[in-house]
Amino acid sequence: MSRRSKTWQSYPRIDSSEITPESVWLNRRNLMKAAAAGAGLTAVGEAVAQPKALKDLSFTEASDDTPFKATEDLTPYEAATTYNNFYEFGTDKSDPVRHADAMTTDPWEVKVGGLVNKPGTLHLEDVLSGFDLEERIYRFRCVEAWSMVVPWIGFPLSKLLERFEPKAEGKFIEFKTLYRRSEMRGTRSFTSIIDWPYREGLRMDEAMNPLTLMTVGLYGKTLPNQSGAPLRLIVPWKYGFKNIKSIVEINVTDRQPKTSWQDLAPQEYGFYANVNPEVSHPRWSQAWERRLPSSLFNPNRVRTQIFNGYAEQVAGLYKGMDLARFY
Amino acid sequence: MPAFIDVNGGNKSAVDGNAKTDKASSKITKLSVNRSPNWNSAIRVAVFLACLLPFMTLVEAVATNSLGPDPAEHLMHVTGEWVMRFLVLVLLATPLARNGWPRLARYRRMLGLYVWFYATLHLLVFAQVYIGWSGEQLIEELAERPYVLVGFSAWLILVPLGITSAHTIRKKMGRYWRQLHKLTYAVAILGWVHLLWLSRSDVGEAVIYGTVFVILLSYRVKIAFGKKSRIRAVAS
């Protein structure tokens, strides 16, 4: 807790030695119950969007002294799930937690296709029960120069891809987020210039890297909607926007897929989007980050590391590439 | 004294035009003085406190640590928003004063100073949280991020505007004061460019402020041209 603001009070504190602090979940669960009870009393007969109940997950804990277990203090659950970018629900950081519960996540299907031998559909149940779940404590660096440390639960993307047997000519993976206007108020904005659905992509070797996680939970439970329920990508050495949420489609392709932010502002957001303090950005300094929670008098600024501190695991993927050009 | 921008200001006829307006405005002042001075100053204090309210709300939020995990972003956003809002208000004051709301003209100075106040807060939060008071990083930000340069320029322009808003200085400056304070429009335009540049995927806000500024600016231009043609008509 050494670097964390001492004045931070509105989020429950977590001892960094505690990997899965049950007290936090219990508190939240009680809060939700209380909120539900209150809503029931005040709004009889009115349909009130309730935060869905999150399920406990069983998983293997991350081993010490591996890149799968960052040693920094964890960002509290409340902070990690109330401060989000999920533009389908609005552009403000507090929009996702307020509006994402409108999204139906059960039933959920993920179509896997493109250059694979066995195209098919994954159902939510297959995802939750069909893979061995592991905990991964990763640093998360947003391109907006803030960062968190989050205990995710998931399984390597490579395990998923293997089931569908990518063909040899498959060089890239394309992902798409759910696009359902009726449930996603951000996609109904007249002034939004994003071409929905949100799209992201990885090179095949990036997708097969053991760090790359198909994520179904955080803090020991299934993902809340604002965090990208029920299935999202986490690629810890890349900027946050690569970590596409609420995935409904995965395609193996032979050419580099178009990605939403690159499409919108190619001079700002590249396909690779590797965390790199050397590559300047026209909006935010990439040399520093605010490790959240931050405060006005203790901003908690830390220096950004190349590949977000995962250089040992991933630098080899980009050998010989000009990272300033392929940002 | 309700001032308006005369785009052709500085030449003889424009000065005459101003003189006429000044006469008109002294009539307005006389009319509004009919209320008791106590009542007037009570309103003034109320307006002053109302403008301070956003700041007090932020102070309260910082003190109770209720701004969420990333207060920096929120503080930058909110102080920036208030700069834009006060810019709209200060630019609205004159047209409204000339069209049936003469009393608004006397709040123009206060509103203008609040633009400066919120812009300064915006800059202070930036210094504290984004660059950690490092001059080296300020230079880097100005060089690499054009929107920072634009915003900083707008703040720099506000400095002389703020200083010369003092009554005594204003009197000494005479007609140059009016010319200097036309720069308020430059601040508005720079502020708008700053906002537009920061829009990531949704240009809604930038569109709204842009529309308001275009309407206000074209009103001033229209008045200036109207005056010019009147003068020409008299001359012929």
Q: Is the pLDDT of residue A6 over 70?
A: no
Q: What is the 3-state secondary structure (H, E, C) of chain B?
A: CCCCCCCCCCCHHHHHHHHHHHHHHHHHHHHHHCCCHHHHHHHHHHHHHHHHHHHHHHHHHHHCCCCCCCHHHHHHHHHHHHHHHHHHHHHHHHHHHHCCCHHHHHHHHHHHHHHHHHHHHHHHHHHHHHCCCCHHHHHHHHHHCHHHHHHHHHHHHHHHHHHCCCHHHHHHHCHHHHHHHCHHHHHHHHHHHHHHHHCCCECHHHHHHHHHHHHHHHHHHHHHHHHHHHHHHHHC
Q: What percent of chain B has pLDDT over 90?
A: 66
Residue B27 domain flag: yes
What does the pLDDT average to over A153-160? 98
Which residue type is seen at A103? Answer: M
In a 3-state reduction of DSSP, which class is residue A27? helix
A7 neighbourhood in chain B, CB within 8 Å: 65
pLDDT for res A8 = 38
The residue segments making up the domain with residue B59 are 12-235
Tell which wins on pLDDT, A299 or B16.
Answer: A299
Q: Is the pLDDT of residue A76 over 80?
A: yes
What does the pLDDT average to over A237-252? 98
pLDDT for res A191 = 80
Report pLDDT digits (tens) over B147-166. 999 999 999 999 999 999 99
Residue B7 domain flag: no
**Interface touch B70/A189, C-beta < 8 Å:** no
Give me the total of CB pairs closer than 8 Å, taking one residue from chain A and one from chain B. 90
Contacts of A223 (CB under 8 A, 6+ apart): A54, A215, A216, A217, A229, A230, A231, A232
pLDDT for res B234 = 63
Q: Is the pLDDT of residue B17 over 50?
A: no
Which domains does chain A carry? 22-316 (3.90.420.10)
pLDDT for res A46 = 38
Q: Rounded to the nearest 5 degrees, what angle is found at the Cα of B212, between the Cα atoms of B207 and B218?
A: 120
A83 neighbourhood in chain B, CB within 8 Å: 68-70
Question: For residues A214 and A156, is the Cβ–Cβ distance under 8 A?
Answer: yes
Tell which wins on pLDDT, A267 or A153.
Answer: A153
A192 neighbourhood in chain B, CB within 8 Å: 201-202
Q: Tell me the C-alpha distance between B125 and B110, whole Å.
A: 23
Sign of the dihedral defined by the CA atoms of residues B224, B230, B234, B236, in that order = positive
Strands A172-177 and A146-156: unpaired
Contacts of A171 (CB under 8 A, 6+ apart): A203, A204, A253, A254, A255, A256
Q: Is the pLDDT of residue A309 over 60?
A: yes
**Interface touch B65/A7, C-beta < 8 Å:** yes
Q: Tell me which of A134-143, B8-17, B144-153 is least confident.
A: B8-17
pLDDT for res A53 = 87
**Interface touch B68/A144, C-beta < 8 Å:** no
Residue B74 domain flag: yes
pLDDT for res B19 = 43
Tell which wins on pLDDT, B141 or A192.
Answer: B141
**Interface touch B72/A294, C-beta < 8 Å:** yes
A144 neighbourhood in chain B, CB within 8 Å: 73
Q: Is the pLDDT of residue B215 over 90?
A: yes
Q: Tell me the C-alpha distance between B91 and B149, whole Å.
A: 23
- Average pLDDT, whole number, for chain A? 88
Residue B4 domain flag: no
pLDDT for res B232 = 67
Contacts of B176 (CB under 8 A, 6+ apart): none
Tell which wins on pLDDT, B23 or A198.
Answer: A198
Residue B111 domain flag: yes
Q: Tell me the C-alpha distance between B44 and B31, whole Å.
A: 17
pLDDT for res B40 = 84
Residue B225 domain flag: yes
Q: Is the pLDDT of residue A270 over 90?
A: yes
B200 neighbourhood in chain A, CB within 8 Å: 91, 265, 283
Q: Tell me the C-alpha distance between A279 and A286, whole Å.
A: 7
**Interface touch B202/A11, C-beta < 8 Å:** no
Q: What is the 3-state secondary structure (H, E, C) of A282-321?
A: CCCCCCEEEECCCCCCCCCEEECCHHHHCHHHHHHHHCCC
* pLDDT band, very low/low/confident/very high, at B35 (cuts 50, 70, 90): low
Residue B2 domain flag: no
Q: Is the pLDDT of residue B18 over 50?
A: no
Record the tokens describing residue B161, joined without a space: 């505007």
Q: Is the pLDDT of residue A10 over 80?
A: no
ipTM above 0.85, yes or no: no
* pLDDT band, very low/low/confident/very high, at B223 (cuts 50, 70, 90): confident
Measure in Å the smallest separation between the Cα of A234 and chain B Cα atoms. Answer: 21
B75 neighbourhood in chain A, CB within 8 Å: 296
pLDDT for res B12 = 38
Tell which wins on pLDDT, A7 or A137.
Answer: A137
Q: Is the pLDDT of residue A3 over 50?
A: no
- Average pLDDT, whole number, for chain B? 85
What φ, ψ does residue A223 adopt, rounded to 5°?
-65, 135
Measure in Å the smallest separation between the Cα of A283 and chain B Cα atoms. Answer: 6
* pLDDT band, very low/low/confident/very high, at A294 (cuts 50, 70, 90): very high
Question: For residues A193 and B203, is the Cβ–Cβ distance under 8 A?
Answer: yes
Tell which wins on pLDDT, A228 or A33.
Answer: A228
**Interface touch B70/A290, C-beta < 8 Å:** yes
Residue B69 domain flag: yes
Bridge partner list, A108? none
**B202 touches A at CB < 8 Å:** yes
Record the tokens describing residue A17, joined without a space: 């030695």
**B137 touches A at CB < 8 Å:** yes
> Total domain count for chain B?
1
**Interface touch A10/B65, C-beta < 8 Å:** yes
Q: What percent of chain A has pLDDT over 90?
A: 78
* pLDDT band, very low/low/confident/very high, at B227 (cuts 50, 70, 90): confident
Residues in chain B: 236
Q: Tell me the C-alpha distance between B49 and B145, whole Å.
A: 35
Highest mean pLDDT among A125-129, A251-255, B14-18, B101-105: A251-255
In a 3-state reduction of DSSP, which class is residue A121? strand
